[in-house]
């Protein structure tokens, strides 16, 4: 830690705390994520998170990981693993939109940036598994704000390492649970977690659809629907499961007209059947067409319902030799 001076704590997640810090040698500002390792199991989690970060590579809409170093805990037998990442001055996507009140074109471009990042992850066979506005950061250091997606691969890291994935997903009312897809939340509600297939590309698309709907509505950054029985707010997927005929289209994105192309796109992303959802590449193509962004990579917009893709789980490859990465004072 002698190379960095911590300025302030930025937040706390499932696996550690994040700090804003300055690098002493050049004065540059970074985000430092501290993961405390006090058992072999947690050590494996940290190693797998680092491997996931290394696998992804560089992309303008992905939070970049640049360095890792370790230090012993103060008067404890623990090991603190520090990940050095980009610092995003604009905070989270929802706070940036609600606080800065950007114009509609900028908001749509930020959502297109988010789709860029998700499509890139899926192209690298990495599933995010926990998409929500808290994991979408804004770099506001340049002329235009840019999205940076963070905390990808958490679900697979959690599942592969024997952590309680159900506890992670079934968080408080403002946590990850609200962005779960029907195929995940259904078995959890029925208390049959063994039937859940976690971390799929189609589940990421559902979560991305909810994010777009919530951000564009701007009435709330949380995608609730009122329960038809008691009017209490519930997760969208939960209402879809318990009340299959519920008019979701009438309750979400009320600021958009029924003919709005972005609303049509989002509703396709929220299909109850995961096989009927567009791929992240199709979502990106449609958003590029809507926003007028460049069509890099020849990604095409969604012009008709996609053919059902194979419903498979994509795992981040993990090396068996855990000694290959010691995490000690090197990238």
Cα 236 to Cα 70, 121, 211, 251, 298, distances in angstroms? 41, 25, 12, 10, 33
Helices H / strands E in the chain, number of each: 11, 9
Q: Let me know if the fold of 4-87 is the same as that of 93-298.
A: no
Tell me which of 158 and 117 has the higher pLDDT.
117
**CATH of segment(s) 93-298:** 1.10.510.10
Closest CA to 278 of 250, 301, 253: 301
pLDDT tens digits for 183-210?
A: 888 877 777 766 666 668 999 999 999 9
Encoding tokens for residue 140? 């506001």
- The fourth-level CATH superfamily of domain 4-87 is Phosphorylase Kinase; domain 1 (3.30.200.20)
Q: Enter the pTM of the model.
A: 0.78
Q: Using pLDDT thresholds of 50, 70 and 90, give the confidence band for residue 179.
A: confident
The two most distant CA atoms of the chain are separated, in Å, by: 62
Query: Residue 199: left if φ>0, alpha if ψ -120 to 50, beta else—which one?
Result: left
11-47: b or e for each residue (b if 16 or more CB lie within 10 Å)?
Answer: eeeebbebbbbbeeeeeeebbbbbbebeeeebbbbbb
Ordered by start, the domain boundaries in the chain are 4-87, 93-298
């Amino acid at each position: 830690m002698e190379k960095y001076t911590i300025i302030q704590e930025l937040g706390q997640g499932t696996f550690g705390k994040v700090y804003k810090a300055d690098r002493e040698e050049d004065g540059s500002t970074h985000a430092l994520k501290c993961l405390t390792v006090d058992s072999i199991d947690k050590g494996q989690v940290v190693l797998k998170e680092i491997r996931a970060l290394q696998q992804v590579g560089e992309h303008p809409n992905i939070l970049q990981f640049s360095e890792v170093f370790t230090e012993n805990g103060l008067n404890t037998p623990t090991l603190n693993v520090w990940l050095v990442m980009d610092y995003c001055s604009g905070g989270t996507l929802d706070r940036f939109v609600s606080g800065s009140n950007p114009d509609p074109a900028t908001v749509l471009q930020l959502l297109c940036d988010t789709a860029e990042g998700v499509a890139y992850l899926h192209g690298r066979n990495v599933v995010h598994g926990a998409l929500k506005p808290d994991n979408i950061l804004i770099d506001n250091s340049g002329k235009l704000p840019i999205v940076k997606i963070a905390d990808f691969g958490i679900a697979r890291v959690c599942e592969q390492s024997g952590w309680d994935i159900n506890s992670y997903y079934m968080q408080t009312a403002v946590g990850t649970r609200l962005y779960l897809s029907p195929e995940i939340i259904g078995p959890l509600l029925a208390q049959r977690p063994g039937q859940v297939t976690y971390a799929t590309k189609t589940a990421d698309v559902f979560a991305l659809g909810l994010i777009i709907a919530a951000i564009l509505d701007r009435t709330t950054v949380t995608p609730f629907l009122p329960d038809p029985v008691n009017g209490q707010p519930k997760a969208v997927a939960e209402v879809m499961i318990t009340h299959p005929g519920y008019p979701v289209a009438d309750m979400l994105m009320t600021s958009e007209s029924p003919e709005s192309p972005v609303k049509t796109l989002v509703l396709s992303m929220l299909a109850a059947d995961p096989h009927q959802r567009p791929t992240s590449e199709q979502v990106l193509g449609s958003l590029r067409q809507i926003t007028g962004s460049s069509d890099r990579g020849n990604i095409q917009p969604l012009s008709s319902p996609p053919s059902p893709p194979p419903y498979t789980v994509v795992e981040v490859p993990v090396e068996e030799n855990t000694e290959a990465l010691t995490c000690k004072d090197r990238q």
